[in-house]
Chain A
Amino acid sequence: MMQQLRASRRAIASTAAFLALTLVTLAGGYVVSSAAQTSALPRAQAARTLKVNDTGYLHLLHASGSILSEVGSVSGTLPGTASVRLDVGETVTASFTIHVRGGGSITGRGSAILHSSGRYSSFAGTLSVTGGTGRFAHTHGAGKLYGVIERRSDSLTVQTREGMLHY
């Protein structure tokens, strides 16, 4: 019975990921520009703007009331691992940290509106990047947020689209 349930949840997670992928076609991210301030301070880094399109596949770590805490991997422009805290009420609010492969992390928050109910709860909204560490210290940015929660397993597939990151 437990094996069946586990198998079912794996199948569901795959289905959720597929659904999310069909929601949005990802465009590749790319470094767009660097600013002109190059010589004011010897140690100053050139400001950069990065167009970000990432997808995260997360699983439930723990739940409390309306709060889901999820962790998982992120692929796309800034691959790495992510931890997300979702408050799933009448609207969805999220705070997240992405530990980017190669060093540094990005933190931010988002809010979204539910677009479907039932087994797969999809939502769409916006996110803002509020800070970071390492090479992403002082980073800021914004983008669109899409996601699907598979409610039997609480697995979460989340995407950023048209994200612009300044760091």
Chain B
Amino acid sequence: MPAATQASAPTAQALATHTVRLSAAFSPERLGAGTTIRFGLQVSTPAGHEPSPVTELQVLLPAGLSIATSDLGLETCVPSKLEQSGLAGCPANSLMGRGSAAAEVPFGTAFVTERAPLTLFSGPLQDGHPQLLFFASGELPVLADIIFAALVLPAHAPFGGLLNTTPPLIPSVPEGPDVALVRLQTTIGAKGITYYERLKGKTISFHPRSILLPKSCPHGGFAFAAHLTFQDATHASAGTAVPCPRSR
């Protein structure tokens, strides 16, 4: 369909083109050992353009890592309970990670950056796919709790899993643009997380076993990628890789 491509090209060029920067790291970086994955997204908007909300976010994770072989998510959080009760609605043993998010909120004639802590929980399987629940609690200038789910789907090599989510649109002032996500960073892993279990009538805390790195490193390191779709129908992608840890 070359004609259609040509016809749509000027429209696409007229739209603001967002760019995204993806960062990723493991802590600790040791092959064969448990680790916590940290990844972050930073969205940039060309000068003179308004930021557009993200309507679909896909994060591709490296092959060879699995939440299922860790202790993470020994219980699951029910989304409706998270909506009703906030963080208190989820079992401690469903906590998967923590992070932060920032969004551009239209305020008067300008945009104000709102930052919110982010908490990840293990949600119930959906059609056989693991699910992560993101909970962001904003306070200023807008007091709002945002919950969205990401399904963990299969992915083609060199990736091993795809986090796929469609964040909800967050309205701002009447007739104003929706709130636009501009930064998200989070961990998935056991770092700083405590779980609990009952043993002989007593509640015992323990440090859950984290995500295991494989004992060998893939060629080129552990690949990550992100694909974002924006409300203005533009797309942005980015990739990165965590280099192979040095042998110790």
Contact A90 B154 (CB under 8 A): yes
- A151 partner residues in chain B, CB cutoff 8 A: 68-71, 74
Q: Does B129 contact A (CB under 8 A)?
A: yes
A65, A116, A119: the one within 8 Å of B66 (CB): A65
- B124 partner residues in chain A, CB cutoff 8 A: 117
Task: Count contacts on A: residues with CB < 8 A to the other chain.
Answer: 26
- B213 partner residues in chain A, CB cutoff 8 A: 65
Give chain A interface residues in 100-120, CB to chain B under 8 Å. Answer: 113-119
Q: Quick one: CB contact mask for A69-106 with B, threshold 8 Å, 1 for yes?
A: 00000000000000000011111000000000000000
Q: Does A4 contact B (CB under 8 A)?
A: yes
Contact B125 A65 (CB under 8 A): no
Contact A4 B214 (CB under 8 A): no
Q: In the complex, A61→B204 CA distance in Å?
A: 26
Q: What is the CB-to-nearest-CB distance from A125 to chain B, in angstroms, rounded to a whole number?
A: 10
Give chain B interface residues in 210-229, CB to chain A under 8 Å. Answer: 212-215
B73, B128, B212: the one within 8 Å of A65 (CB): B212
Q: What is the CB-to-nearest-CB distance from B62 to chain A, in angstroms, rounded to a whole number?
A: 9
- Contact flag A4-B74 (CB < 8 Å), given A66-B64, A66-B69: no
Contact A118 B76 (CB under 8 A): yes
Contact B74 A89 (CB under 8 A): no
Q: In the complex, A33→B185 CA distance in Å?
A: 62
Q: Does A130 contact B (CB under 8 A)?
A: no
B74, B153, B214: the one within 8 Å of A152 (CB): B74
Q: Does B177 contact A (CB under 8 A)?
A: no
Contact A63 B130 (CB under 8 A): no
User: Total number of A-B contacts with CB less than 8 angstroms?
Assistant: 83
- Contact flag A66-B160 (CB < 8 Å), given A90-B152, A117-B125: yes
Contact B130 A90 (CB under 8 A): yes
Contact A65 B214 (CB under 8 A): yes
User: Closest chain A residue to B34 by CB distance?
Assistant: A63
User: Closest chain B residue to A123 by CB distance?
Assistant: B128
Count chain B CB atoms within 10 A of each CB in A91, A117, A152 and give the residue with the most: A117
- B204 partner residues in chain A, CB cutoff 8 A: 4
Q: In the complex, A119→B195 CA distance in Å?
A: 12
Q: What is the CB-to-nearest-CB distance from A44 to chain B, in angstroms, rounded to a whole number?
A: 44
Contact B71 A89 (CB under 8 A): no
Q: Which residues of B contact A (CB under 8 A)?
A: 32, 64-66, 68-71, 73-76, 122, 124-125, 128-130, 152-154, 160-161, 197, 199-200, 204, 212-215
Interchain Cβ contacts under 8 Å between A and B, 12 examples: A4-B204, A65-B69, A65-B212, A65-B213, A66-B214, A67-B69, A90-B130, A91-B128, A114-B125, A118-B75, A121-B68, A152-B71
Q: A88-B69, A89-B161 are in contact. List 18 more A-B contacts (CB 8 A).
A: A4-B204, A63-B212, A65-B65, A65-B212, A66-B214, A88-B66, A89-B68, A90-B129, A90-B152, A114-B125, A115-B125, A117-B68, A118-B73, A118-B76, A151-B71, A151-B74, A152-B71, A152-B197
